[in-house]
Amino acid sequence: MALRENGHYAIEFQDVSRRFILHHERRSSFQDWFIGLFRPRGQAEEFWALRNVTFGIRHGETFGLVGRNGAGKSTLLKLVTRILEPTSGKVRVNGRTYAMLELGAGFHPELSGRDNIFLNGSLYGFSRKDMQRKYEEIVRFAELERFVDMPVKHYSSGMFARLGFGIAVNMEPAIMVIDEVLAVGDAAFQQKCFRALDELKARGTTILFVSHDAEVVRSFCDRAALLVDGHLTDIGPAGDVVDHYEQMLHTGDQPFRLLRVRALDEYRFATEEIEGGQPLRLEVLLRVPAGRDTSGLTLQIDLDRIGGTNLWSTSCALPAELPVAEHALRRDEDDAPDTRVARLLIDRLPLGRGQLRLVASLHDPAGQLIDRTETLVTVRPTNLAQSGLLALDHTWEWEQPAATPADESPARIDSLPR
Amino acid sequence: MVSQAVEVIQYRSLIYNLVTKDLKVRYKNSVLGFVWSLLNPLLMTIVFTIVFTRLLGQTIDHFPVFVMTGLLAWNWTAASVASGTKSLIENAPLITKVYFPRIVLPASVVFSNMAHYLLAFPVIFIFMLIERMRFTPWVLYVPIIWAVQAIFLIGLTLILAAMYVYFRDTSVLVEVGITAWFFLTPIFYRVQDVAPEYEQMMYWFNPMASIIAEQHTILYYGGVPDPLFMLRTLIQSLVLVAIGLLLFNRVSPHLGEHI
């Protein structure tokens, strides 16, 4: 994805990969080195936690991250928070970041709540003066007025969580990274946390949010991304991505399912911004159970305006065997590669600025609808001199090369594909 | 290196908080806790005095002052080296959860032990008063020696902390090393008495020998310090810091996965 405007993004990943080397026989002492002098070293295995991840999170956006355990969510968060460095690619973070990867990380059990507030603030680079200003508000939020001089080792887990969260929301970070920490505490406290996060949102804080609870991502986030085995397989409006994730998790009663339709950029990365007047690549991910073929099924693609006006539709009978999706290839062998892809290339998308709904639907031989999925993309104009619904290739007559004789029509519409 | 310095300055309140945290935990938040922490050097001084003057017939006058001066400075070094080596690994939960300049961890170990040392330092003056020893204005030179020792210790702990990440038995070597180093440093003996031919060599290769010898010159002998003597130790310490930074900065980006 070409990320053109740098200042536009709070967090930016450009073709980021992160590798971990797993030594089965790791040398971690002088003794190991000494013993290993005359012994061949065990095989090291490499593991890519993230592969070629490219995306951007805009300033002020609430962005969710979903995926199974081990899909690379935590690695991604650690790259954002500079705890890990990328093996290749570039991570750019524009703004002061506060990460809640674990509530109460950095608390010292022997110190009082008060001392821990100051210690924690300074861990994030806040001065004593900053913290004195925020102190009252933190204690008030955490409802710990009576216990603030007590060592935190005597705190209940709820008090611990309240203190950690109280510090976090009062740090006024430009970017807030939250990993799975809202699961603690009672319902009332969770509500309070979400109210506080809503306030942060209203103030324009960028929030990067990870949760196993996909419904929280759906209701709380503007946009989301889905990670599958280190690949960013989907990015888009939170609801759509969560749908995709849930489709992926549940092998439903229907043998065939549409997981996702999405637009790809020129590098074949999922994107939500496409350019009018440029080629458009669409990709449909389908779940095809092992042993079944797709012959006889029909795949239909519709491009609709937001209001529902159908701009264009096409359908095609599927071949018996569709290619396996790239991220599904890497799965363990017991996990059959059941995610298939169908791609559609539109030579030129003759649309101007606006939002476009991409709809994919799958029909059985009798024409009955099996499954349907859709997503929204934003069309950006390439030629700023044009406006309106359409983006048409055109040439003003006086721009014609001198050698060409003038045409009869005043302005000729150039219909040649580019 | 400049941007690193700027970052550390930005995080100075973290160093301050880590040092006060350490002191609060060590003294258990009470004055008596601090008094109690003085017991160790006091008892050690008594033990050394009895063993060396009564049993071994050591002939150094005002022996408690002589030993105390070296012992307090030595304790700062020994404690900093021992816990500074482990400072990264022991804070692993923090390192894997929050980004901050990692150098703050070994540095704050040196500073909190320095604070502990400075709080205990007046005990030397009390011993000097008891022994009716002479105070000279050169006592004001002592803070320069403290500063040199702090720089030396930061360099040393940076190297050891970085090594400990990859070689977990560094701590075993450090333990043995500290014991050997203690005996090779003129704390309870005078080099001139024991092995005068090694005196210069000792000052060259053991910065702690120079640091303690200079304090003896000022506090014990009431003499005049030689600025060039400390300058040499300062240069050695700065070289050590440079090596330490080089090593530490190579290790610190990989801390998130290695600990």
Neighbouring C-alpha atoms within 13 Å toward the C-beta of B88: 31
What average pLDDT does the segment A146-151 reach?
91
pLDDT of residue A408: 46
Contact A318, A299 (CB under 8 A): yes
Please indicate, yes or no, whether residues A59 and A168 belong to a single structural domain of this protein: yes
CATH number of domain containing A365: 2.70.50.60
Look at B98 and A30 and tell me if their CB atoms are within 8 Å: no
- For residue B248, the distance in angstroms to the closest alpha carbon of chain A comes to 16
Residues 180-219 of B with CB under 8 A from A: none
C-alpha closest to that of B147 among B68, B238, B12 = B238
Q: Which residue of B has its CA nearest to A29?
A: B167
Most B-contacting residue of A103, A107, A108, A133 (CB-CB within 10 A), to test interface: A108
Which single residue is written with the structure tokens 């503007």?
A: A222
pLDDT of residue B245: 95
> Pairing relation of β-strands A270-271 and A369-380?
unpaired
Residue A403: pLDDT over 50: yes
Please indicate, yes or no, whether residues A77 and A218 belong to a single structural domain of this protein: yes
C-alpha closest to that of B96 among A347, A74, A195, A291 = A74
- For residue A104, the distance in angstroms to the closest alpha carbon of chain B comes to 10
Residue A416: pLDDT over 50: no
Neighboring chain B residues of A33 at a CB cutoff of 8 Å:
167
What average pLDDT does the segment A330-338 reach?
54
On average, the pLDDT of chain A sits at 83
Look at A30 and B170 and tell me if their CB atoms are within 8 Å: yes
Is A394 within a domain?
Answer: no
Look at A105 and B11 and tell me if their CB atoms are within 8 Å: no
- For residue A116, the distance in angstroms to the closest alpha carbon of chain B comes to 9
The 10 Å CB-count burial string (b at 16+, else e) for A119-146 is bbbbbbbbbeebbeebbeebbebbebee
Residue percentage of chain A with pLDDT more than 90: 30
Q: Where are the domains of chain B?
A: 2-258
Contact A318, A290 (CB under 8 A): no
CB pairs under 8 A between A and B: 82
Is A81 within a domain?
Answer: yes
pLDDT of residue A316: 92
CATH number of domain containing A100: 3.40.50.300
Is A165 within a domain?
Answer: yes
The one-letter amino acid code at A152 reads V
C-alpha closest to that of A318 among A337, A342, A346, A289 = A342
Q: Which residue of B has its CA nearest to A85?
A: B253
Lowest mean pLDDT, pick from A248-262, B135-149, B206-220: A248-262
Please indicate, yes or no, whether residues A260 and A213 belong to a single structural domain of this protein: no
pLDDT of residue B177: 96
Query: Packing angle between helix B63-90 and helix B122-130, nearest 10 degrees?
Result: 170
Look at A29 and B95 and tell me if their CB atoms are within 8 Å: no
Range of the domain at A329: 252-380
Is A408 within a domain?
Answer: no
Task: State the CB neighbour count (10 A cutoff) for residue A91.
Answer: 19
Task: Report how far apart, in Å, the C-alpha atoms of A18 and of each of A44, A90, A123, A179 are.
Answer: 16, 11, 26, 19
Question: Which of A111, A123, A128 is the closest to B24 by Cβ?
Answer: A111
Please indicate, yes or no, whether residues A205 and A259 belong to a single structural domain of this protein: no
Under the banding of pLDDT at 50, 70 and 90, the label for residue A36 is confident
Is A353 within a domain?
Answer: yes
C-alpha closest to that of B135 among B223, B224, B226, B222 = B222
Please indicate, yes or no, whether residues A59 and A114 belong to a single structural domain of this protein: yes
Residue B9 forms contact with A (CB below 8 Å): no
Under the banding of pLDDT at 50, 70 and 90, the label for residue A334 is very low
Lowest mean pLDDT, pick from A44-58, A179-193, A379-393: A179-193
Under the banding of pLDDT at 50, 70 and 90, the label for residue A337 is low
Look at A84 and B97 and tell me if their CB atoms are within 8 Å: no
- For residue A334, the distance in angstroms to the closest alpha carbon of chain B comes to 29
Please indicate, yes or no, whether residues A188 and A277 belong to a single structural domain of this protein: no
**pLDDT tens sequence across A265-284:** 887 788 888 888 889 999 99
3-state secondary structure A40-72: CCCCEEEEEEEEEEEEEEECCCEEEEEECCCCC
On average, the pLDDT of chain B sits at 91
Q: Which residue of B has its CA nearest to A102?
A: B97
C-alpha closest to that of A221 among A233, A234, A236 = A236
pTM over 0.80: no
Is A397 within a domain?
Answer: no
Please indicate, yes or no, whether residues A258 and A219 belong to a single structural domain of this protein: no
Residue A163: pLDDT over 50: yes
Structure tokens at A258: 């549409």
Residue percentage of chain A with pLDDT more than 70: 87
Of B17 and A327, the one with more pLDDT: B17
| CA distance from start to end of chain A | 21
- For residue A232, the distance in angstroms to the closest alpha carbon of chain B comes to 22
pLDDT of residue A212: 74
pLDDT of residue A413: 47
Residue A417: pLDDT over 50: no
What average pLDDT does the segment B35-41 reach?
87
Residue A53: pLDDT over 80: yes
Residue B252 forms contact with A (CB below 8 Å): no
Residue B92 forms contact with A (CB below 8 Å): no
Look at A111 and B96 and tell me if their CB atoms are within 8 Å: no
User: Which residues are CB-contacts of A413 (< 8 A; sequence separation ≥ 6)?
Assistant: A392, A393, A394
Maximum average pLDDT range among A324-338, B29-43, B72-86? B72-86
Please indicate, yes or no, whether residues A212 and A257 belong to a single structural domain of this protein: no
C-alpha closest to that of B162 among B80, B250, B240, B82 = B250
Please indicate, yes or no, whether residues A203 and A122 belong to a single structural domain of this protein: yes
Look at A122 and B11 and tell me if their CB atoms are within 8 Å: yes
Is A385 within a domain?
Answer: no
Please indicate, yes or no, whether residues A159 and A258 belong to a single structural domain of this protein: no
Is A363 within a domain?
Answer: yes
Give the Cα separation of B241 and B8 in Å (integer).
15
Most B-contacting residue of A18, A78, A83 (CB-CB within 10 A), to test interface: A83
Under the banding of pLDDT at 50, 70 and 90, the label for residue A399 is low
Please indicate, yes or no, whether residues A72 and A216 belong to a single structural domain of this protein: yes
Q: Which residue of A has its CA nearest to B257?
A: A84
Please indicate, yes or no, whether residues A23 and A133 belong to a single structural domain of this protein: yes
Which residues in A have their CB inside 8 Å of a CB on B? 20, 28-31, 33, 78, 81-85, 97, 99, 101-102, 105-106, 108, 110-111, 115, 118-119, 121-128, 131
The one-letter amino acid code at B33 reads G
Neighboring chain A residues of B177 at a CB cutoff of 8 Å:
none
- For residue A160, the distance in angstroms to the closest alpha carbon of chain B comes to 16
Give the Cα separation of A323 and A343 in Å (integer).
10
Structurally, chain A folds into a number of domains equal to 2
Structure tokens at A33: 């080195």
Structure tokens at B45: 């001084």
Residue B102: pLDDT over 70: yes
Look at B21 and A115 and tell me if their CB atoms are within 8 Å: yes
pLDDT of residue A401: 61
Under the banding of pLDDT at 50, 70 and 90, the label for residue A409 is very low
Q: Which residue of A has its CA nearest to B167?
A: A29
